[in-house]
Amino acid sequence: MTHVRSIFLSDVHLGTRACQAERLLEFLAEHSCDNLFLVGDIVDFWAMRRSMYWSAAQNTVVQKILKRARHGVRVIFVPGNHDEIAREHVGASFGNIRVERELVHTAADGRRYLLVHGDEFDQVTKYHRWIAVLGDRAYGLVVRLNRILSKARCALGIAGHWSLSGYVKTKVKGAVNFIFDYEEAVMRHARERRVDGVICGHIHAAVVRESDHLVYINCGDWVDNCTAILEHADGRMELVRWLGRVAAAERAPAVAAPAVLARALPDPPADGVPPATGRIGARPAARRAA
């Protein structure tokens, strides 16, 4: 068991089939902390409205978090857009878990970090909420359609190759711009708030990066990537990608050179099949494609 000053988690998406609750339980069992920050989209009320999936492991995740709060761990919940219902209760506490809209956390090294889920900096969810809801389902549909399409072309004996997912990939270049725009908007906000860094989630793209004396940290998610941010006793921030008990946590040094961070988050295989120990799903794979 590793003890850290703080654990930052976002985008767990409890209530969905995609939530990797078992892995999160393993991770929590290996890491104790003084502070636990839940940086939004912990419970996915949007998905639960469509169809609810609540496993025993997901139940245990909630119980473990409540237990920590009961036993003196400071637990703070900053709601995201999928659990925005909790935003109505900002300032209130539930079972010792305090709900905050935004929060400044002072790390052990004195650096001040703004904690925010980050959906307000996502131009898509901000102005076109329906696109975001659709987008969730649309990607899965494209992958399925592509499979059917290539079978049909094969059956009809059509030569040559036209790939729907290839077509979508050219559109994904837009997604790369989207991540860039998002990070820029978050950083701008952090600069206005005169903090040393920002810790957010929302786009399922974990990273610790410093530029122009400002640290940008994204917690990633527990749907595809199983990532968390740890604050060590000296205030060092570390991105951890949980690969399961057998593989142990693969770690990237905090505020490292981009090359090191890139190694910590290897590219998924081109066919989209997750590696044996990885959990890289189709969505972030597409988003990371250049």
Interface contacts to Mn ion, rule CB under 5 A: 41, 80-81, 119, 202
- Least separation in angstroms between residue 164's CB and Mn ion is 27
- Of residues 81 and 165, the one with the C-beta less far from Mn ion: 81
- Least separation in angstroms between residue 67's CB and Mn ion is 26
- Of residues 77 and 254, the one with the C-beta less far from Mn ion: 77
- 169/289 Cα distance (integer angstroms): 8
143: exposed, middle or buried (Cβ count in 10 Å: 0-12, 13-18, 19+): middle
- Least separation in angstroms between residue 194's CB and Mn ion is 25
- Least separation in angstroms between residue 74's CB and Mn ion is 23
- Of residues 201 and 254, the one with the C-beta less far from Mn ion: 201
- Least separation in angstroms between residue 261's CB and Mn ion is 22
User: Helix, strand or coil for residue 221?
Assistant: coil
- 241/229 Cα distance (integer angstroms): 9
- Of residues 81 and 218, the one with the C-beta less far from Mn ion: 81
User: Helix, strand or coil for residue 270?
Assistant: coil
- 146/69 Cα distance (integer angstroms): 46
- 241/222 Cα distance (integer angstroms): 10
Which residue has tokens 């040393």? 196
DSSP bridge partners of 78: none
- Least separation in angstroms between residue 38's CB and Mn ion is 12
- Of residues 97 and 203, the one with the C-beta less far from Mn ion: 203
On whether the CB atoms of residues 19 and 222 are closer than 8 A, the answer is yes
Amino acid found at 287 = R
- Of residues 190 and 243, the one with the C-beta less far from Mn ion: 190
Closest C-alpha to 190, from 218, 210, 215 = 215
Residue facing Mn ion at closest CB distance: 202
H helix or E strand, kind and range, residue 144: helix 129-155
- 33/11 Cα distance (integer angstroms): 19
- Least separation in angstroms between residue 141's CB and Mn ion is 21
Residues composing the chain:
290
- Least separation in angstroms between residue 108's CB and Mn ion is 28
- 24/117 Cα distance (integer angstroms): 19
- Of residues 13 and 279, the one with the C-beta less far from Mn ion: 13
- Of residues 80 and 268, the one with the C-beta less far from Mn ion: 80
